[in-house]
Amino acid sequence: MTYFVMSILIGCLSVMAVRGKRGKWPQGMPVTRPRLVAVGGTYEGSHRRASDAYVIQERLVAVADGAAGSEPGHTAAALALGAVVAAGPQHARSPRAPEQDLGECAQAAHRAVRSAALRDAAMPGLVSTLDVIVLDPGESPRLRFAHVGDGAIWHCPRGGAPTRLTTSRSADDGPPCGLGLPAALEPEVGAVPIRPGDRVIVVTDGVVQALGARRMTELFATGSSPVACLDRLYDELAAAEPKEDATVIIADVVTV
């Protein structure tokens, strides 16, 4: 009897699969679409002053790092993320280039942090970095990104070598770049094609300083699960004992 019931169920599923590919998908049935499945966390630095914050949604990941060693650092990061969530760049439907939408999202975060700093003279240290990734679904899914400061975004294509999407910036590269500074903001924006099985990793500078780009490349290339990769990163951060907060978000692209 059990075998008979299982045969009927398998037959029904086969018909549904064929109709989903070649015929009209039954009304009310879920439609497959790509989304981000992410794990992450913040390894607290030895200075014990919270500076990092992050947001994870279905198609949006945003990470901010307030000025290190500054009491209002976490406030700046929270303001930046609040502006990003309010802008909702993953829902942009403008006729402009999607990268421009994400650039304006970074500008909105910059204005939020800068305005707060100007309103309160007691908090001149309201400065934050920002890294945002947005997954755009469709026939040709792609990943948009915006970058401000000294964090980093990595793309790990399935079966390929990890690639750093954002430009590394040190103090020797010119004036500091961050949300809330008096200087005009020029976020780095871009987009890359993406497919199920790809991985995107966002880290703050605490991770970059503790491990270095070479070691991060080796860890990202292992092909382990997101949880296993995060555990290994935490183990190495514990050995390095970073002074600043070190945030890691590992997001896999899946289709559901």
Q: What is the sign of the dihedral through the CA atoms of 202, 208, 213 and 214?
A: negative
> Does residue 106 sit within a domain?
yes
Whether 207 shows a pLDDT value over 70: the answer reads: yes
3: in domain: no
Residue 190 inside a domain? The answer is yes
pTM for this one? 0.82
Question: Is residue 8 one of the residues assigned to a domain?
Answer: no
Indicate if the pLDDT at residue 16 is higher than 50.
no
CA–CA gap between residue 170 and residue 157 (Å, rounded): 27
What is the average pLDDT across 20-25? 46
**36 found inside a domain:** yes
H-state helical runs in the chain = 2-22, 73-87, 98-119, 205-220, 226-240
Identify the weakest region by mean pLDDT among 61-70, 74-83, 197-206: 61-70
Task: Please say if the pLDDT value at position 122 is more than 60.
Answer: yes
List residues bridging with 232 in a β-sheet: none
pLDDT band at 237 (very low <50, low <70, confident <90, very high): very high
Angle at 183 between CA 180 and CA 186, to 5 degrees: 85
Q: Is 20 contained in some domain?
A: no
Residue 247: give its domain's CATH number. 3.60.40.10
175, two tokens: 């004036």
Asked whether residue 21 is assigned to any structural domain, the reply reads no
Q: Which domain holds residue 109?
A: 30-255
Number of domains in the chain: 1
More confident residue, 217 or 3: 217
Q: How many CB atoms lie within 10 A of CB 152?
A: 23
Query: Does 48 have pLDDT greater than 70?
Result: no
pLDDT of 22 reads: 44
Asked if the structure places residue 64 within a domain, the reply is yes
